[in-house]
Each structure stands twice: as structure tokens, then as C-alpha cells.
Structure 1
Amino acid sequence: MDYHVNYINPEIKLSCYEGKLFKTEAAFENHLLVWLISGETKIIQADERFIFGAGSTFLIPKNQLATLINYPKDGLPHKAVAMHLSAKRLMEFYNNTHAKSKINTEKIIGFKKHPLLESCLASLIPYFEMQQNFPENIALLKINEAISILRTIDENIDNILNDFEEPGKIDLASFMEKNFIFNMPLEKFGYLTGRSLTTFKRDFFKAFGSTPQRWLTKKRLELAHYQLTEKNKKPIDIYYEIGFENLSHFSFAFKRHFGYSPTEVAERTL
């Protein structure tokens, strides 16, 4: 298999991928602390992109729409330790901790190399080789250790970790115009805009006069056309960044919409 995951417990895992690339689109339910052992991770958000190399440590806040593309590099697989910082764990931690006042801030954070953080995450590696169940109390100690270190090295981290509010109702049109490239279930789009699925569909039609599926496909294809004609990009370099699962699906949808294939567009711009 190209991809496999070892679990210490449901909140801590080691992933290893040896194929060409592994892509996932997500708005994670929990904050995700990642230590990249080898390989490279590219993260695409609506208005920002990040590239993290081997040895990087970064935090993906919950409910942040992002496309993650993981690559092997330098002859090594993409290998990473990921720790889920759940609301339950964080509430338990902050119930006994004085936290600074919160300022609304939501962004992916890349941490500078720090011996405390690196040693905390590296110390997890031996546990993945254990055959028996990982003791719950040790997993909790490791998670609390990681939270404490993050608070030590980043004075603003409480603004993210100590925020337990659910997404509130926001302007649907502006949110969708910004985030249409992400291939999320409609239920997730509804949740992130503070709506039930039924309300989301109703408000969407009011805003755009179309069903979400048709509108999303049209917007993604128009962006693809722009990338091909104005940015001289190749079809294989863009389909996974604009919400399509594979190149054949993208090519079929593109030709049905425009009457010609993305390859023909690319050839015209040469």
C-alpha cells in the first residue's frame, strides 16, 4: 500500500505515504498539530498558500477550509506525526489554566524550530511500535505537554486554542465566492456558514439563483479556464487545486462546459 497510518490512540497518529502525491480537502473538526518528519506538504487556502518541508511543525486550526497535498521528497516518503487537539482536551486544560483574553484570529501557523516542541513530538515515535493499547493517561500527558509548549513559544496561541464557539451565521454569498475551490460536502458548507443543510440550500438559491452543485462546477471551471489561458498552467497542475478529484473528471466537465478540452486550451497558449 502507498499510504498507511499507525495510531497511538484516536488523537495521535503517524502517517506514511510513498506514492506520487496524496491530496485531501478538509475543514478539520479539531485543531491539528503536525510534525513533518520527511516529505513536503502544500496547503492551499482561499487567499494564502503554504509549503512545509521536512522538520516543519505547523498547526491547522479547526474549521479552516484547506486543500492539503502531501508529497514524498528526496527519495523519502511523506511521513508525519499528527496530534488532534480536541475541544474536550482543550477545555480540560484551560479549566485549570489562566488564559489571555481572546482576539479573533484564524490562520495556519508554522512554528520556528524549537527544541521543546521537537522533542515532545519526536518522543511519540517509539510508542507507534507498541503492539498493545496505548495508556490513556500517557496520551493525555503528551497532549497537555504539547499544549503547554505551544503556549510557551507562541504568546498568541490562546486566541486559537481557547476558542470553543461554533461557527455563527455569516454572509453566505461572500463566503462561497471566497471558498468555492474546496470540494466539501454541502453539509460542511452549511455548518461553516452557520446554517442547516436545508437553510443553506434555500439561502444559496436566493443569493445565486442556482443550485450549489451547478454554481460550484461553473465557478471552478471558469477559474480553470483563467489559469490555463492567463497563467499558462497545465491541466495536470491545476485540477487538484480547484476542487476536482481527478484529471479525467476535470477534462470531461471542462469540455462539456466550454466545448473544447483543457489540453486544447493549453496548446493554444504555447
Structure 2
Amino acid sequence: MAQRQVSAYAEMVLTCNEDFHCTGEKVLQEHALLRVVSGQLTVIQAEKSTICEAGQTLLFPKNQLFTLSKQCYDGRPYKSVIISLPTQLLRAFYEKNTLKDLRPAEAEILKLDQDALLDSLFASMLPYFDLNKPLPEKLVEIKTHEAIEILRNVRPDIDGILSDFSEPGKINLADFMEKNYMFNISLDKFARLTGRSLTTFQRDFKKAFEMSPQRWLTRKRLALAHYQLSEKRKRPVDVYFETGFENLSHFSYAFKKQFGYPPTMLP
């Protein structure tokens, strides 16, 4: 369930998940600020995982690949407030404001330190979601500007991320795919994240791996799944999502086709 307060080019969202466990893969097109209100959020990236509990805040830079795992915690459902920081709004902001820190900041998901300003920002927003009418657009924009100013106070180096309006540049495709093949996203998104059109991505991929992206991804994901099942002693129901398969039946079919036996009957 999600409740939204939206302006012409800004958005605030309250999400609520009553289920015990919910997962999903994301690639955001805009920066976003997230505060966990209750429950627990695990952010899984290629090389690390970050756990965020009630009262903690994360900044998600755009064009980062990650998986979210949302869970009940201490008997409370997962709830969070998300403030989008659209490029259009950030451009307008930085046209009027001087950069505090000119050093380029590495675009990575940041777990922000506890801060009274962040606490005040999100505490002031929660009542908005109880309204039975839309919040005035101007107020959504004011709160988004407030979020930007607070971020700049909490992290003086944040301008290097928020003021970077460039599109993903062309990067080493093989290195990126070896690190991120387990994320179940479309080839279009893989192409964009490596700074390529889909046609160029497919051409460069075949040159790097000597097979199609679909075939290579299936092989890599199945090899990882086999390792997780045989060495880590995980269950198929826990493995299929972690290794990039959409559902258990598709995973079981592909696994048996590759190895000659179902994942429940490892020799």
C-alpha cells in the first residue's frame, strides 16, 4: 500500500507493507530520501548490504542497482516515507544556490547519521498522509526544498551527488555484469546503466562473453543458485529470488534443464 502527495514535479510517498516479508529490485530514475518509520529495510547491492531500522534514513542516488527487502520487525509492519528529489527541481535549486563543496562525491547509497533536523522533517510530514484531500502542490515543493537544505547540512559533501545531472557514462560492460548479473532487471536497464543503447549493449556483450546476454545470465544465475543450495544449504524458495529468477517454478524448470535434476534433489 502506498499513499502519495504529489506536485507538478515532486512527490512524497508513505509506503506500508503488512506482509511479513516483501522484496523487490529497483533502479531509480531520480534521487530519493527514505526514512524507515517502522519495521526493517535491508538494501542489497552487488558488494554489500545495509540494514535500516525505525528512525534511520537512507539517500538513494539515481541509477543505482539494488534490491529492497522489507520486513515486519518487533511486531510492527514495515512503513517508510520517501521524498523524491527530481532532476528538474534540483536543477532549479542549484541555479539559485552556490555549491558548498566542489569535490565530486561517489554516488552510492548513503545511510545518514541520526540528526534532529531529519527527525523534524519526517515528523512534520507524517500527518500529511492522514489528510482526506491532496496536499497543496506548493507545500509539497516547499517540503522537498527543505529536505534538500537539510541534506546539505547533514552531509556537506552531498552537493557532489545532487548537482550531478549527467547520464551514466559508458563503463566496462564485463566488469559491471560480473558484479550485477543476479539482479533481475531488463536488458534495457542493464544497457542504460552501462551507458549504452540496447543495440550497442547486445553487440558489446557478445564481443565480451561470446554468447547472448540471456544465455549468459541464465548460466551465471544457475551456477550461483547451485552453489547456494549445495554449499550454503539454502532452500530453493530462498535462493530463486536472490539469484535473479522471477518465480520458483521458472527457477526449478531452468535448474533441472541445466543440471538434470530439480533443485530439491541435489546429489
Q: TM-score range by the shorter chain?
A: over 0.9
Q: Secondary structure of the residue that 2:205 maps to in structure 1?
A: helix
**Residue range with higher mean Cα deviation, 60-69 or 123-132:** 123-132
Distance 2:39 2:18 in 1: 9
| Aligned residue in 2 for 1:224 | 225
| Aligned residue in 2 for 1:192 | 193
Q: Secondary structure of the residue that 1:7 maps to in structure 2?
A: strand
What letter matches 2:4 in structure 1?
Answer: Y
Unaligned runs of 5+ in 1: none
Distance 1:222 1:36 in 2: 35
What letter matches 1:24 in structure 2?
Answer: G
2:105 touches 2:158 (CA, 8 Å); kept in 1?
no
> What are the superposed Cα offsets for residues 43-102 of structure 1, whole Å, 9 maximum, x if unpaired?
111111111112211111110100111112222111110111111111111111111213
What letter matches 2:213 in structure 1?
Answer: P
Distance 1:143 1:231 in 2: 44
| Aligned residue in 2 for 1:60 | 60
**Pairing of 1:201-220 with structure 2 (within 5 A):** 201-220=202-221
What letter matches 1:246 in structure 2?
Answer: N
The count of residues paired between Structure 1 and Structure 2 equals 263
Q: Secondary structure of the residue that 2:253 maps to in structure 1?
A: helix
2:241 touches 2:247 (CA, 8 Å); kept in 1?
yes
Unaligned runs of 5+ in 2: none
| Aligned residue in 2 for 1:182 | 183
Distance 1:77 1:61 in 2: 26
2:59 touches 2:109 (CA, 8 Å); kept in 1?
yes
1:43 touches 1:69 (CA, 8 Å); kept in 2?
yes
Query: Cα distance, 1:235 vs. partner?
Result: 2.2
What letter matches 2:15 in structure 1?
Answer: S
Q: Secondary structure of the residue that 1:73 maps to in structure 2?
A: coil
What letter matches 1:38 in structure 2?
Answer: S
What letter matches 1:115 in structure 2?
Answer: A
1:67 touches 1:241 (CA, 8 Å); kept in 2?
no
2:20 touches 2:77 (CA, 8 Å); kept in 1?
no
Distance 2:239 2:114 in 1: 32
Distance 2:42 2:260 in 1: 32
Structure-1-length-normalised TM-score: 0.93
CA RMSD, 1 decimal: 1.4
1:44 touches 1:241 (CA, 8 Å); kept in 2?
no
Distance 1:77 1:247 in 2: 25
**Percent identity among equivalent residues?**
49
Structure-2-length-normalised TM-score: 0.94
| Aligned residue in 1 for 2:72 | 72
Distance 1:164 1:120 in 2: 25
Q: Secondary structure of the residue that 1:173 maps to in structure 2?
A: helix
